[in-house]
Amino acid sequence: MFKHLKQSVSIESVLHDKGVPPLRKRGHQLVGSCPVHGGDNPNAFVVTPSKNIWHCFTKCNGGGDVIDLVRRMDNMTHYQTAQYLASISHTSPAPSIPVKTQGVKPAFKPFTRNLHLNCEIPWFKRKGITGKTASLFEAGLYQGRGFLSDCIAVRVHDLEGCPIGYAGRRLIDHQVRKYGKWKFPPQLPKSRILYNFHRVRDKLQKGLFVVEGPWGVMRLAQLRIPAVALLGINLSNEQQRILCKIPKIVLMLDGDFPGRKAAKRIHDKLKNNTVVKRINLNINTDPDDLQDHQLTKL
């Protein structure tokens, strides 16, 4: 069953489906930035097509086959991975795949319970986000224990507006350095989410801003500017299909190297189907770092 999927689905096709930019050819291998940990080293991630295996030589310091890649990128179970690979290979997974196996994590289940969050915190004030806006977007400091401890929590909805969970913005520096700023629920289908789309879907006649994260969306919302966030720097095929139906896109990702590189890649993907204006921010500047008068002039 898994042997068949390993043979029928290439690592390149998985990366393409997930909106990862094409790798560069180097001899008999392909190289690029690592899509697993989201690094920006252009030589860290190496794929050997003849064996359909990969390796990250920096933060991940490991690798594997196409199964391992999907599981690590999306935190999927073996069963979910098989279903996903079957869907992009246009085949059906073998019927012997067990739906329930001892020790296997369950599929993603939406978390719909409301959390009590503190919206009036200095962190939001430094970002230029009012308590009223934070409350509207169901964002605030989580003061309990568990998955969101020591995080600012932000509620995430699907495209139809149904709540499916909370993302957490880490606040402890050493955790940020080790794991990155954001943490997402296991198996969260990020490739099928456009943060805030359900709030702006009826206000797109004049166009839409696309940013990386929730804070930029909130700042723009305060100025009555419709915006969505990718929750990262990759554009999936499903997100691309949605954005291509919008008359005008203003693409404003973060001003760091990965954000600038991703903005060019996403611009090239969208430009043949819609009008795309790409805004290049100054180095290490995020959309929420701009003043209101700067945002309104964009």
Which residues 6+ apart lie within 8 Å of 275 measured at CB?
207, 247, 248, 249
Burial class (CB in 10 A: 0-12, 13-18, 19+), 193: buried
What is the distance between the alpha carbons of residues 190 and 194, in angstroms, rounded to a whole number?
8
What Å distances lie between residue 219 and 38, 134, 150, 202, 209, CA to CA?
25, 10, 23, 19, 11
Q: Would you place residue 116 in the very low, low, confident or very high pLDDT band (cuts 50, 70, 90)?
A: very high
What is the homologous superfamily of the domain 2-89 according to CATH? Answer: Zinc finger, CHC2-typedomain (3.90.580.10)
Domains of the chain by residue range: 2-89, 109-188, 194-298
For residues 142-159, b (16+ Cβ closer than 10 Å) or e, as one string?
beeeebbeebbbbbbbbe
Contact 291, 264 (CB under 8 A): no
51-105 tens-digit pLDDT = 999 999 988 888 999 988 988 887 667 777 887 787 766 443 433 333 343 444 4
* Predicted confidence (pLDDT) at residue 266 exceeds the cutoff of 50: yes
Q: Please give the single-letter amino acid code of residue 146.
A: G
What is the homologous superfamily of the domain 109-188 according to CATH? Answer: DNA primase, catalytic core, N-terminal domain (3.90.980.10)
Helices 78-89 and 66-74 cross at an angle (nearest 10°) of 110
Helix (H/G/I), strand (E/B), else coil: 15: helix
What is the distance between the alpha carbons of residues 199 and 125, in angstroms, rounded to a whole number?
23
Q: Backbone phi, then psi, for 179, in 5-degree steps?
A: -115, -10
Task: Select, from the ranges 11-20, 108-117, 238-247, the one with the highest average predicted confidence (pLDDT).
Answer: 238-247
What distance lies between CA 75 and its chain's CA centroid? 13
Q: Would you place residue 225 in the very low, low, confident or very high pLDDT band (cuts 50, 70, 90)?
A: very high
173-188 tens-digit pLDDT = 988 888 888 999 888 8
What Å distances lie between residue 288 and 217, 247, 248, 252, CA to CA?
8, 24, 21, 11
What is the distance between the alpha carbons of residues 137 and 133, in angstroms, rounded to a whole number?
6
What Å distances lie between residue 229 and 156, 253, 291, 298, CA to CA?
11, 9, 19, 17
The CATH code belonging to domain 194-298 is 3.40.1360.10
What is the distance between the alpha carbons of residues 124 and 110, in angstroms, rounded to a whole number?
26
* Predicted confidence (pLDDT) at residue 109 exceeds the cutoff of 70: yes
Where do the H-state alpha helices sit in the chain? 2-8, 11-17, 66-74, 78-89, 122-127, 131-136, 173-179, 197-200, 214-222, 237-243, 257-270, 292-296
What is the distance between the alpha carbons of residues 80 and 112, in angstroms, rounded to a whole number?
22
The partner residues of 142 in beta bridges, in order of sequence, read 117
